């Protein structure tokens, strides 16, 4: 019998989950995709006489009799459209006559998927019409009904999200507290009202799977190990703050909204739990590939800041963190204005004004950031806040003036405070990194002061 390998990919998951305003709709969206990905797609492939290799993180890989290819893809797309109203499923297939050819066929499937992604629309949204009243939650579709929660007029897709929210809460009940909204998470934060969105992603997973997915069972085994260790580590680390929300998790990435002061502790806990779970011996006795590193973008902002903006900036920062390579890495921004622009362009602009000196040393390795953060915590009870805040002003002066002002500040502190501040900022306010960039840590940690 002729078989095919089929790869299905749910398009623009983050947009679907995070576009609506109101946590319950984000949560409902997350629940719909989770159920579809991990229950409906596997059921459907079995109904068509096939088998699943993996199903997580918005992706599904399976083997099907070739005669069922069209029916499977048609039904899978239809079910996703009915469940969400707007989300597109993209699928790629290759013929698969012999399981011994798996590694090559798997690579071929990825090339095929890249072509499909480039040539199909990533959403089912229709163009706006002038006589529509837009949905008051997502602003993208025509409003068709009243919200289940308030008097807002919402679209069909947001209505479906609302209906799924209870199922999500049911799944979580008893495991950790469930916030009513983002403001409630902010009410547990220091400073009060401030949230942090942590968006983390394992590094180099394309290369990882290409290298280690030598046959079906090996891919199933390592894919499950990645998904489980990320999901369980997030779950565990998320149970420690008083309140938080896991907005998405599965496969190799996750997005979590936390009280601002809890963000770096969360990353530290996540790493510990991820390592512990990832490194447990496999049931098969097969060797485990080296553990992947991860990169995180963290955005600190007030709980009134739009969730979609939190995510847009966190994604940019996560890509910036990935540039460090070969280590767990973090980039972060503290957003204090409502119009934040692009944080990375802002950095470049200020660097150009400062004769090539960067007013930041971001991104950081997670180790370096946590080490300096610990010393900052020791300083907090003994150093007046205005001394730390003065660092921020210093770095925007001329380089020599900044250097002198920093030395003057150190000379006026008691010995214990001065030595700790040197461990956070350095002996000189400017440091040269191994790649030749001249940077300062001063502003990075002055702005973190309120959040540690």
The reply on whether position 226 binds Zn ion by CB under 5 A is no
The reply on whether position 32 binds Zn ion by CB under 5 A is no
Nearer to Zn ion, 133 or 336 (CB): 133
Provide, rounded to whole angstroms, the least separation between the CB of residue 312 and Zn ion. Answer: 18
Provide, rounded to whole angstroms, the least separation between the CB of residue 90 and Zn ion. Answer: 22
Of 4, 8, 135, 321, the one binding Zn ion by CB under 5 A: 135
Nearer to Zn ion, 162 or 227 (CB): 162
Provide, rounded to whole angstroms, the least separation between the CB of residue 84 and Zn ion. Answer: 11
Give yes or no for a contact between 257 and 185, defined as CB atoms under 8 angstroms apart. yes
Side-chain half-sphere CA neighbours of 427 within 13 A: 1
Nearer to Zn ion, 146 or 380 (CB): 146
Distance CA 415, CA 428 (A): 16
Provide, rounded to whole angstroms, the least separation between the CB of residue 167 and Zn ion. Answer: 19
Structure tokens at 102: 């798996």
Give yes or no for a contact between 245 and 27, defined as CB atoms under 8 angstroms apart. yes
Nearer to Zn ion, 17 or 158 (CB): 158
Provide, rounded to whole angstroms, the least separation between the CB of residue 335 and Zn ion. Answer: 25
Segment near Zn ion (CB under 5 A); pick from 32-40, 93-101, 128-136, 243-251: 128-136
Nearer to Zn ion, 164 or 376 (CB): 164
Using CA atoms in the order 309, 15, 130, 154, what is the torsion angle rounded to 10 degrees?
-100
Nearer to Zn ion, 155 or 448 (CB): 155
Nearer to Zn ion, 85 or 297 (CB): 85
Q: Is 44 helix (H, G, I), strand (E, B) or coil?
A: helix
Q: Cβ contacts of residue 126 below 8 Å, gap of 6+?
A: 141
Nearer to Zn ion, 153 or 410 (CB): 153
Give yes or no for a contact between 393 and 401, defined as CB atoms under 8 angstroms apart. no
Provide, rounded to whole angstroms, the least separation between the CB of residue 161 and Zn ion. Answer: 8
Nearer to Zn ion, 90 or 161 (CB): 161
The reply on whether position 138 binds Zn ion by CB under 5 A is yes
Which residues 143-172 are close enough to bind Zn ion by CB under 5 A?
155, 158
Element (H, E) at 77: helix 69-84
Nearest to 445 by CA among 367, 396, 390, 381: 390
Of 14, 31, 91, 137, the one binding Zn ion by CB under 5 A: 137
Q: Cβ contacts of residue 447 below 8 Å, gap of 6+?
A: 334, 392
In angstroms, the Cα distances linking 411 to 414, 417, 419, 422 are 8, 10, 11, 11
In angstroms, the Cα distances linking 152 to 19, 25, 29, 135, 139 are 16, 13, 18, 8, 12
Provide, rounded to whole angstroms, the least separation between the CB of residue 41 and Zn ion. Answer: 25
The residue count of the chain comes to 452
Segment near Zn ion (CB under 5 A); pick from 84-92, 112-120, 130-138, 394-402: 130-138
Question: Binding pattern to Zn ion, positions 355-394, x when CB under 5 A?
Answer: ----------------------------------------
Provide, rounded to whole angstroms, the least separation between the CB of residue 81 and Zn ion. Answer: 15
Which residues 191-210 are close enough to bind Zn ion by CB under 5 A?
none
Give yes or no for a contact between 395 and 359, defined as CB atoms under 8 angstroms apart. yes
- Could you list the residues that contact Zn ion (CB under 5 A)? 135, 137-138, 155, 158
């Amino acid at each position: 019998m002729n078989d095919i390998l089929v790869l299905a990919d749910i398009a623009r998951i983050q947009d679907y989950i995070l576009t609506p305003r109101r946590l319950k709709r984000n949560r409902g969206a997350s629940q719909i995709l989770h159920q579809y990905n991990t229950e409906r797609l596997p059921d459907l492939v079995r109904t068509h006489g096939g088998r699943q290799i993996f199903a997580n993180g918005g992706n599904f890989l399976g083997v099907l009799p070739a005669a069922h290819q069209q029916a499977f893809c048609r039904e899978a797309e239809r079910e996703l459209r009915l469940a969400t109203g707007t989300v597109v499923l993209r699928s790629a297939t290759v013929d698969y006559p012999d399981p011994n050819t798996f590694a090559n066929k798997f690579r071929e499937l990825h090339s095929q998927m890249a072509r499909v992604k480039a040539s199909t629309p990533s959403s089912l949204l229709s163009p706006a019409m002038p006589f529509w009243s837009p949905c008051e939650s997502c602003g993208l579709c025509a409003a068709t009904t009243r919200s289940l929660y308030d008097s807002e007029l919402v679209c069909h897709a947001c209505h479906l999200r609302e209906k799924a929210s209870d199922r999500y809460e049911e799944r979580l009940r008893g495991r950790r507290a469930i916030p009513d909204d983002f403001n409630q998470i902010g009410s547990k934060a220091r400073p009060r009202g401030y949230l942090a969105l942590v968006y983390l992603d394992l590094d180099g997973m394309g290369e990882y799977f290409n290298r280690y997915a030598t046959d079906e069972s090996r891919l199933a085994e390592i894919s499950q190990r990645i998904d489980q260790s990320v999901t369980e580590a997030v779950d565990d680390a998320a149970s420690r703050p008083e309140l938080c929300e896991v907005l998405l998790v599965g496969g190799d990435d996750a997005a979590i909204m936390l009280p601002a002061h809890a963000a770096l502790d969360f990353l530290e806990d996540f790493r510990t739990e991820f390592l512990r779970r990832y490194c447990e011996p496999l049931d098969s006795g097969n060797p485990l590939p080296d553990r992947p590193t991860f990169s995180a973008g963290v955005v600190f902002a007030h709980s009134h800041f739009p969730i979609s903006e939190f995510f847009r900036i966190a994604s940019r920062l996560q890509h910036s963190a990935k540039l460090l390579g070969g280590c767990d890495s973090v980039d972060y921004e503290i957003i204090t204005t409502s119009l934040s622009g692009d944080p990375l362009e802002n950095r470049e602009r200020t660097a150009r004004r400062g004769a090539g000196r960067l007013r930041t040393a971001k991104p950081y390795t997670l180790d370096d950031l946590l080490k300096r953060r610990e010393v900052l915590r020791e300083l907090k009870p003994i150093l007046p806040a205005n001394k730390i805040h003065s660092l921020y002003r210093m770095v925007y002066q001329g380089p020599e003036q900044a250097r002198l002002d920093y030395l003057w500040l150190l000379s006026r502190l008691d010995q214990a405070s001065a030595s700790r501040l040197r461990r956070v900022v350095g002996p000189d306010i400017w440091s040269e990194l191994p790649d030749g960039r001249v940077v300062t840590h001063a502003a990075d940690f002055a702005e973190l002061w309120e959040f540690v």
